[in-house]
Structure 1
Amino acid sequence: MRLIAAMSGGVDSAVAAARAVDAGHDVTGVHLALSRNPKSYRSGARGCCSIEDAGDARRAADVIGIPFFVWDMSDEFADEVVDDFIAEYTAGRTPNPCLRCNEKIKFAAVLERAVALGFDGVVTGHYARLVTSEGTAGEVVELHRAVDHGKDQSYVLGVLTQDQLARSVFPLGDDPKTLVREEAARRGLQVANKPDSHDICFIADGDNAGWLADKLGPRPGPIVDETGAEVGAHDGAYAFTIGQRKGLRLGVPAADGKPRFVLDIEPVSGTVTVGPREHLAIDAIEGIKPLWCDEPPVGPLACTVQLRAHGDEHRATVTVDGDVVRVELADPATGIAPGQACVIYEGTRVVGSATIARTSRSVAA
C-alpha cells in the first residue's frame, strides 16, 4: 500500500514509519504544521507539536530512507481544535483537544488529503491494535486496546469510523514502549530517548486557566456551596472543571473542615458550585454526538466504559436511542464532566464513543 506516515517528531511515529517500510509499504513521511504562529506553541523536545519536532521528524525520515514533507494544517487545527477548546470551556464543559485532533485533523483532514493524492491510508504511532473480522455485511476492521495498557491510546481513537479504521495502520499496538525505544536506538533514530508529551500543545506553559483568561478576559462570578451560600469568588468559570479541588481560594471553610470540590459550573451566570467529595459520585450518563467504529449496539449492551484518557474502566450498560447514548454505571464514578468523551468497550474492542452531555449523581452513604 501507499501510506502517509504522520510523523510528529517523536519516537513512536518514527518507529511506526520504519515498520511500515519493513512491511513492504510505499511510505511518505508527513509532519503537520499546526500553529499559525509557531512561537505561540511550546518549545523543547516534548514529543508532540513543539517547534523542534519538524526537524526531528525530518531527520528520522532521512534515517528510514523515505520522502518527507511538511503539511500546513494550521487553519484546520485552529478552527477545529483550538476554537472548539475555547467554546467548550466557555460553555462550562471540559473538552479533550487531543481526541478532537485525532477526529478532525489526523484521521479526517490528513486522511482526506492523503486519499486525494492517491495514497491508500495513514500510518501512525498510536498504541492500539486493528483486528479484521467478518461482520454481517462483510469484513470489519475492529479497534482494540494495545497490549501495553499503560500506553494504550484506544480512548483517543474511539472517534474513528469504519472507513477511517480501514485506511489506518497502527504498527505499535502489540509491543510495550520499552521495546519501541530499544528498536529506535538500534535503527539509529535520534529520537529514541525523546520524552513523551503530556501537555496541550497549543498552551506553551501548561497553564490552561491563564491561557483561557488571556483569550476570554475576566468574567467574574460567585462560588457557592450546595445551599446557595456564597463561599468565594472567581474571575472566570472557564478556569474550573468538575472534580477540581486545588486553586478554589474559598473564603469560607466547610463546616466539617473537609476539602471541597467543584460539583457544577453554570456558564450563563458564571456560578461555580462546590461541595464534599462524595457528592461528585455519578451513576448515569447521557451522551450525544455518538461515533461508532462499526454498527451501533442494538438493545442494551453490557460493556465497560472509559471516561478519561488515562482513567479506569467502569462496568456499564449502554442503550442507544438515535443520537442519544444512555450509560448506566454498575459502580459510581467521580469527577466526570460534561464535554469529556465516554468511550465504550466490549472486552478490548472499542465499540464507539459519545460526548458526555449530562450526568446523574448518587450521594454516597
Structure 2
Amino acid sequence: MKVLAAMSGGVDSAVAAARAVDAGHDVVGVHLALSRQPGTLRTGARGCCTIEDSMDARRVAGMLGIPFYVWDFSERFAADVVDDFVAEYSAGRTPNPCMRCNERIKFAALLDKALALGFDAVATGHYASIVTDADGNRELHRAAAWAKDQSYVLGVLTAEQLEHAMFPLGATPSKAEVRAEAAARGFDLAQKPDSHDICFIPDGDTRGWLAGRVGAEPGPIVDRSGAVLGTHEGAAAFTVGQRKGLSIGYPAEDGKPRFVLEVRPKTNEVVVGPREALAVAEIAGSRYTWAGIPPQSSSFDCEVQIRAHADPVPAVAAVTEHELVITPVDPLDGVAPGQTAVVYVGTRVLGQCTIDRTVSAVPVPA
C-alpha cells in the first residue's frame, strides 16, 4: 500500500513510520506545521509539532530512506481547533482540543489530502488497534497497552476514516518497548519526553490566554439557590469541578470546600456548591458519531469514558431522535458540557458524543 506516515517528531510516530516501512509499504513521511509564527506552539517536553519536532521527524525519515514533506495546516488548525477552543469556552463549555485536532486535522484535512494524492492509508503513532470483523467491517479497539491506550481521543473517527487508518503500535505491550526499538534503530529521539498540555498556549497559562481572547469581565459567584457568595474576574477561566481560584473568602456552612458546578456565560455567573453536587446521573449530546457499524438497537449496555485517562464505567446508552443519551450505572463526577463521552462495548470503541447537557444526581435545594 501507499502509506502517508504522520510524523510529529516524537518517538511513537517515528517507530510507527519505521514499522510501516518494514511491512513493505510505500511510505512517505509528512510533518504538519500548525503555526506560521515560531513560539506560538509549546516546545520541548510540553508541546508537539514545533520547528524542533519537524527537524527530528526529518532526521528519522532520512534514516528510513523515505521522502519527507512539511505541510502547512496552520490556517485549518487555527480555524478548526484554536477558534473552536475559544468559542467553546465563550459558551461556558470545556473543550478537548486534542480531540478536535484528531477529528478535524489528522483524520479529516490530512486524510482528505492523502486520499486526493493517491495514498491508501494514513499511519500514526497512536496506541489503538483496528480489528476487521467476519464481514470485513473495520472496528476501532483499545491498544494492548491499556496504560498508553489512546482509543479515547480517536473515538471521533468514522467508519470511512477507519478504512484508511493505520496504527502500527496498537499491539505493542508497552511504551518502554517502543523506546527500546527506537534506540535499536539509532533514532536520537528514543528518550524524547512525551508531549502534553495544550500545544497552542506557549506558556501554559490557559486562564491568561483565554482572557486575552474571550475577555475577563468581573461577575458574581453564586450558589445553587442563586445567592451571591463572591465575585470572579472572568467566567470563561472556570471549568466544572474546579476548586482553586474561587476566592470566596469564607467557608460554606458545613465547612466543606466548594466546587464549580456550572458556568453561565450569558449572565456571567459561576455556580458553586458541595462536592456531592458534582455527581451526574445522565449526559447527552446531539453531536454524535459511530466508529464503524452503528449499534443495531436504540438502547444498549456499554461503558462510557469521559476523559482520556479516566476509567470506563458501566452505563446504558440510548439513541433518541436528536441525541445520544448515556446513563451511567453509578453517577459520574464533575462532568462538563463540551467534554467528549466515548462509548465502548468491551474493548471496541462504538462511538462518541460531545456533551451538550448533564442531569445532576443531586436535586437543587428548595
Shorter-chain TM range is over 0.9
Contact 1:203/1:211 (<8 A) preserved: yes
Pairing partner for 2:273 from 275, 280, 287: 275
> What residue number does 1:228 align with?
226
State how far apart, in whole Å, the 1-side matches of 2:64 and 2:73 are: 24
Residue 256 of structure 2 aligns to a residue in which SS? coil
Query: What is the correspondence of 1:79-118 to structure 2 with a 5 Å cutoff?
Result: 79-118=79-118
State how far apart, in whole Å, the 2-side matches of 1:213 and 1:66 are: 44
TM-score by length of 1: 0.97
Amino acid in the other structure paired with 1:127: Y
| 1:146 equivalent in alignment to 2:158 | no
State how far apart, in whole Å, the 2-side matches of 1:323 and 1:62 are: 50
Report the Cα offset of residue 38 of structure 1: 2.4
Report the Cα offset of residue 45 of structure 1: 4.4
> What residue number does 2:195 align with?
197
Amino acid in the other structure paired with 2:320: D
TM-score by length of 2: 0.96
Contact 2:6/2:30 (<8 A) preserved: yes
Contact 2:137/2:293 (<8 A) preserved: no
Report the Cα offset of residue 47 of structure 1: 5.6
Report the Cα offset of residue 225 of structure 1: 1.5
State how far apart, in whole Å, the 1-side matches of 2:227 and 2:46 are: 44
- Aligned pairs, number: 361
Residue 150 of structure 1 aligns to a residue in which SS? helix
Residue 355 of structure 2 aligns to a residue in which SS? strand
Contact 1:296/1:320 (<8 A) preserved: no
Residue 305 of structure 1 aligns to a residue in which SS? strand
Contact 2:111/2:122 (<8 A) preserved: yes
> What residue number does 2:36 align with?
36
Report the Cα offset of residue 64 of structure 1: 1.6
Residue 56 of structure 1 aligns to a residue in which SS? helix
Contact 1:304/1:316 (<8 A) preserved: yes
Q: Which runs of 5+ in 2 are unaligned?
A: none
Residue 319 of structure 2 aligns to a residue in which SS? strand
Amino acid in the other structure paired with 1:156: V
State how far apart, in whole Å, the 2-side matches of 1:350 and 1:127 are: 13
The CA deviation string for residues 29-62 of structure 1, in whole angstroms up to 9 with x for no partner, is 0000001312211222446223311111111111
State how far apart, in whole Å, the 1-side matches of 2:115 and 2:10 are: 24
| 1:158 equivalent in alignment to 2:143 | no
Residue 317 of structure 1 aligns to a residue in which SS? strand
How much identity, in percent, do the aligned residues show? 61
Query: What is the correspondence of 1:158-307 to structure 2 with a 5 Å cutoff?
Result: 158-175=155-172, 176-297=174-295, 298-307=297-306
Contact 1:127/1:153 (<8 A) preserved: yes
Report the Cα offset of residue 72 of structure 1: 0.1
| 1:19 equivalent in alignment to 2:19 | yes
Amino acid in the other structure paired with 1:94: T
State how far apart, in whole Å, the 2-side matches of 1:242 and 1:230 are: 18
> What residue number does 1:74 align with?
74
Contact 2:17/2:27 (<8 A) preserved: yes
Q: Which runs of 5+ in 1 are unaligned?
A: none
Moved more, 211-220 or 328-337: 211-220
Contact 2:41/2:48 (<8 A) preserved: no
The CA deviation string for residues 48-84 of structure 1, in whole angstroms up to 9 with x for no partner, is 2233111111111111211100000000000000000
Residue 61 of structure 2 aligns to a residue in which SS? helix
Amino acid in the other structure paired with 2:270: V
Residue 39 of structure 2 aligns to a residue in which SS? helix
State how far apart, in whole Å, the 2-side matches of 1:272 and 1:102 are: 31
Amino acid in the other structure paired with 1:152: D
Contact 1:39/1:51 (<8 A) preserved: no
State how far apart, in whole Å, the 1-side matches of 2:36 and 2:86 are: 17
Contact 1:219/1:236 (<8 A) preserved: yes
Q: 1:46 to 1:226 in 2, by over 3 A?
A: closer
Contact 1:20/1:171 (<8 A) preserved: yes
State how far apart, in whole Å, the 2-side matches of 1:205 and 1:86 are: 17
Contact 1:8/1:47 (<8 A) preserved: no
State how far apart, in whole Å, the 2-side matches of 1:60 and 1:300 are: 47
Amino acid in the other structure paired with 1:197: S
The CA deviation string for residues 189-212 of structure 1, in whole angstroms up to 9 with x for no partner, is 111000001111001111111110
Contact 2:219/2:232 (<8 A) preserved: yes
Amino acid in the other structure paired with 2:204: G
Contact 2:46/2:199 (<8 A) preserved: no
> What residue number does 2:318 align with?
319
State how far apart, in whole Å, the 2-side matches of 1:47 and 1:240 are: 23
Residue 157 of structure 2 aligns to a residue in which SS? coil
Report the Cα offset of residue 134 of structure 1: 2.8
The CA deviation string for residues 278-327 of structure 1, in whole angstroms up to 9 with x for no partner, is 01001111112111112332221101010111111110000112441011
Amino acid in the other structure paired with 2:206: N
| 1:53 equivalent in alignment to 2:53 | yes
RMSD after superposition? 1.2
Report the Cα offset of residue 181 of structure 1: 0.4
